[in-house]
Amino acid sequence: MRTLNKEIQSQISPRKALEILNEGNHRFVNNLKVHRDLLEQVNDTRDGQWPFATVLSCIDSRTSAELIFDQGLGDIFSIRIAGNIANTDILGSMEFACKVAGSKLIVVLGHTKCGAVKGACDHVEMGNLTELLSKLQPAVYEEQVTESDRTSKNSEFVENVAEINVKRTVKSIIQRSYILEQMIENGEIGVIGAMYNIETGQVDFYEDTAFIKDENRPNLDLKQLVK
């Protein structure tokens, strides 16, 4: 597998970046990992990096984006925080990844049985974690399907909140970053939400959160779409 360089990165469209990640996850699920000489990739990337995608995921030890999508050194930016929420520092990191380093796709990757989501569902308060979990509370309140047992003991409730949280984060990225919003409108980058199943290893992308300007969606009115 070739190490990415500037020329290869420039030829990857946002939609193609999504296809590459999808194919990588398919290999992961089927235990067909591509052979890579990681030390060679260390040498190849010593003077620069040209990742084609940026993945915002949870700190959960089972959700390493490089492994889940079968990618090597220099292929993706991996941003990790409990509950895969987007704060100002993370938005700044995404702006660097896309505007400066040329990344073509942002993926907000949630996962099943998320501990942070469970904590938010139970309204846990503990030190600095309290402030972090408060950022997940809007997703808890937005979940209107579950009428009883709105706690972490209800797995269906937890997964509903996790999905809502991913979709809210996608919208938040567009609403809070003018730089990224403009890049999406210009077709330079795309953003999409997804969910990783910790039992199967499979990633399901939410096409209803795919803000990707291509032949299928040549005109994106982001202000309308993210309402």
Q: Over the stretch 84-97, which tens digit does the pLDDT of each residue have?
A: 999 999 999 999 99
Alpha helices in the chain (DSSP H): 6-10, 14-29, 38-44, 65-68, 88-95, 115-121, 129-134, 137-142, 155-176, 178-185, 222-225
pLDDT digits (tens, 9 = 90+) for 190-200: 999 999 999 99
pLDDT of residue 226: 66
Mean pLDDT of 40-60: 94
**pLDDT tens digits, residue range 123-169?**
999 999 999 999 999 999 999 999 999 999 999 999 999 999 999 99
13-36 average pLDDT score: 96
- The sign one gets for the Cα dihedral 15, 16, 18, 22 is positive
- What local confidence, expressed as pLDDT, does residue 2 receive? 78
pLDDT at 3: 85
Q: What is the mean pLDDT of residues 63-77?
A: 96
Between CA 18 and CA 105 the distance in angstroms is 7
Cα separation, 122 vs 114, in Å, equals 13
Note the pLDDT of residue 50: 94
Identify the pLDDT of residue 96.
98
Over the stretch 181-226, which tens digit does the pLDDT of each residue have?
999 999 999 999 999 999 999 999 999 999 998 766 667 666 656 6
